Amino acid sequence: MKRTLIYLIVTMTLTAIAAAANDDSTTATRLPFLTRVLSYDPSPGQFVNEMPRCAAGEDYATVLQRAGAAICGSVSIEEIELPDGTLVRDTTVNYSNGMISLGGWGGSVTVGFDHPVVNVAGKPDFEIFGNAFVAEGTDAGGSSEPGIVLVSVDVNGNGIADDPWYELAGSAYNDTDTRHDYVMTYYKPADDKPVVKGSNRSIIDMEHIHWTANDEDESNSEGYYIQLRIHNHPYWPLWLPADSTVMTRTGSRLRKNYEQFGTMVIQRFFDYGYADNKPTLTVGSEGDDYNTGVYSEGFNIDWAVDDDGNHVFLPYIDFIKIYTAQNQYNSGMGETSTEVTGGMDLHVDAVNEWRAGDINGDTAVNVGDVNEILAMILNEHGVLATADLNRDGDINIGDVNAVLTIILNDE
């Protein structure tokens, strides 16, 4: 009796999970573009406090709302009464194509759609828009300020991006000069807008934001972000508390891409996998544009890896985080800072066909999935979104039993 009751409970739980994951009842109301900015946490930079705007005394909630207004879209529905008394619904799509800056290395924004983004096998799943462009005279680069992209599943269902993150491994993920344990610390200047005595502040570039990093190359282990004469406002986020004087970031850091090309200085493109990196537009373009339907190739959820670089299978995602991937000063142009102008689900009407128990994503539930969970347990890694079938917050023998239950139930 007890064994039968446990079997029924496990079966009912897995059925509920599968039903929730495959529910496509709201596909008709899904919007194709970003609808939420959950957090905005830029590092210091020349466009911080400008994109979005923030004045002294304004709070974080105000800045967060402005970030959302800049890169998210919405639909407004209004009932209009015609002269004959007939009521009609007027639907207006609002998408501004504004821009936000993430500042220097590690600065980030966390965003989401009004629905989970489905992992469609073999195809790019979503796009993050930026303002990268191609320089005249070369297709090797132009303006490329790459941002690393992370994805997450709302495993605990609380609507907050507090679940494990997985990096989408771009083309430079395994490069020898990519650092996956990079730590960088910024220090707020004592006087956030320093003055040089006897100098005209409007024509002088200033050493401004001091930083240190755990780089073996001494020339890259310490330095300053320069306060440019054309951007001589505070680079430290104005909405942070006055006693916030140190900012530490951790994550992956890409190699520098700023170099001379003939008579020009360009930022070379990375092959794929980064925001604000490589447009598929013509020379002289101004970046991606949702309104015209012209944008780069997009991001594939199947690129996701865990902290150890192991591939993970995610049938869908709920949250996306983008952060500036380079610690780089570009001569008179200032620091590299990823810009985000929006985002799009590339197959908004896709139905999530994932089945609970399919741990390896091969569309079947069989002994291969049992072996996959056992490997996760032995190697102490795994994906709660797919492998924690009994929802106890861990991957353990209970999840092995849950997969076996599904297999036996199928036979």
Chain segment 169-220, per-residue pLDDT in tens: 999 999 999 999 999 999 998 865 554 544 444 445 677 889 999 988 777 8
Domain boundary among 299, 327, 345: 345
87 found inside a domain? no
- For residue 113, pLDDT beyond 50: yes
One-letter amino acid at 133 equals F
In a shared domain, residues 282 and 378 = no
Looking at residue 84, what is its pLDDT? 80
Is residue 337 within 8 Å of 106, Cβ to Cβ? no
In a shared domain, residues 56 and 121 = yes
Q: Which residue has the higher pLDDT, 204 or 58?
A: 58
177 found inside a domain? yes
Domain boundary among 345, 374, 392: 345
pTM: 0.84
For the chain, the domain total comes to: 2
Identify the band that residue 392 occupies on the pLDDT scale cut at 50, 70 and 90: confident
| Strands in 262-376 per DSSP E | 264-268, 304-305, 316-317, 319-324, 339-340, 342-345
In a shared domain, residues 312 and 358 = no
75 found inside a domain? no
In a shared domain, residues 240 and 359 = no
* CATH number of the domain enclosing 387: 1.10.1330.10
Residues 6+ apart with CB under 8 A from 277: 130, 132, 144, 145, 146, 147, 269, 270, 296
- For residue 401, pLDDT beyond 50: yes
pLDDT over 70 percentage in the chain: 82
Looking at residue 199, what is its pLDDT? 47
CA 42 to mean position of chain CA atoms: 13
Looking at residue 91, what is its pLDDT? 66
In a shared domain, residues 285 and 310 = yes
Question: What three-state secondary structure class fits 11?
Answer: helix
79 found inside a domain? no
In a shared domain, residues 310 and 377 = no
Is residue 248 within 8 Å of 214, Cβ to Cβ? no
Range from 98-102, 194-198, 327-331, 374-378 carrying the lowest mean pLDDT: 194-198
Bridging pattern class, strands 87-95 and 117-118: unpaired
206 found inside a domain? yes
What's the rounded mean pLDDT across residues 156-163? 91
Question: What three-state secondary structure class fits 260?
Answer: strand
Chain segment 247-257, per-residue pLDDT in tens: 999 999 999 99
Q: Which residue has the higher pLDDT, 116 or 202?
A: 116
Looking at residue 5, what is its pLDDT? 32
* Average pLDDT over all residues of the chain: 82
Domain boundary among 345, 377, 400: 345
Identify the band that residue 140 occupies on the pLDDT scale cut at 50, 70 and 90: confident
In a shared domain, residues 132 and 108 = yes
In a shared domain, residues 175 and 266 = yes
In a shared domain, residues 244 and 384 = no
Residues 6+ apart with CB under 8 A from 260: none
In a shared domain, residues 140 and 256 = yes
Range of the domain at 310: 32-69+102-345
Range from 125-134, 192-201, 219-228, 378-387 carrying the lowest mean pLDDT: 192-201
pLDDT over 90 percentage in the chain: 43
Range from 57-71, 245-259, 329-343 carrying the lowest mean pLDDT: 329-343
Looking at residue 274, what is its pLDDT? 95
Looking at residue 338, what is its pLDDT? 97
In a shared domain, residues 242 and 134 = yes
In a shared domain, residues 400 and 267 = no
Identify the band that residue 8 occupies on the pLDDT scale cut at 50, 70 and 90: very low
Looking at residue 330, what is its pLDDT? 80
| Strands in 278-403 per DSSP E | 304-305, 316-317, 319-324, 339-340, 342-345
26 found inside a domain? no
